[in-house]
Amino acid sequence: MNTHRSARRTITRAATAAALATALGLGAVHTAGAAAPPTTPPPAPSPTPASTPASAPASAPDAGSASGTDPDGGWHQDGLTLNAADNKKVDAFVARARSAERSISPQVRAAAQISHAQLIGFDQRLKSPDSLKRKVATKLQEHPGQTVEQALGTLNDAVRFTLQWPDGTYSRGVTTAAGLLSSWGNDSARWSNTWNRPTGYKGINSAWRAPRSHQLFEVQFHTPESKWAQEETHKLYEEQRLPGTPPERVRELQEQQNRIFAAVPVPPGAEQLTAPTRRLPAPDPARRLPVAHTP
């Protein structure tokens, strides 16, 4: 039985329209900040105030030392640099992502509401310019000869969201939310399910391409425990990926992350969750080309 098709059938058109209207009108959607540790219950969801504009999210704080702009318009941070031309291209990329977010957020908010998800860190749905620049500069350093356009083309988290469910409803919630995003025209560009990995990160990271702006955006699917583990290991991961981190320290940091993620329970059915498959509409017979006749 196709679980994605079954989940979609349970959603009435009226419920979907109401959820979209609520999201577009910035109605209440369960949101929260950082996840609570697994030893304590997650905080009660608090509604997003209707007065909060969806088009003006805050950027996530950056790890590491303060960044600066060079006199020539370049950028530097943590030993990473961008020249003036590349820095300008990243700034333009950031501006396009901010514009595209305005049409992406209402759909994600509606998917969260219909699937009974908690929307985590909604105010940080735009990745900060410095964080994006660190990613681009790292890619350019790791891949000599790669252009800034090529590096930017691989980034899918300039706009990002996190949906969270308790273990008991996680798999059903992911199936419903992902099915909705797909049915609304978003193409599944990446689906990384690491629940079955013996070590390391636990969760599902998905990337989608919006139909109008073609902007890539990320949606992470978590439980309270897996989200807590992600937050707990974030600084370790940031240090691990810095170019100057010694190999022995890299291994030590990875071992610390493995121990934290090993304590995260796997929700029932999570290991089998896959990306929804979009069904293309049947071709219009009236538009079929006539068969050529050989004289």
The per-residue pLDDT for range 31-63, each reduced to its tens digit, is: 565 444 444 433 333 333 333 334 446 554 444
User: Which tokens in the block code for residue 83?
Assistant: 């020249």
- Asked whether the CA dihedral 75, 80, 81, 82 is positive or negative, the reply is negative
According to the model, what pLDDT value does residue 238 have?
87
According to the model, what pLDDT value does residue 31 have?
58
Residues (pLDDT < 70) of the chain are: 1-68, 278-295
Number of neighbouring beta carbons within 10 Å of residue 228:
22
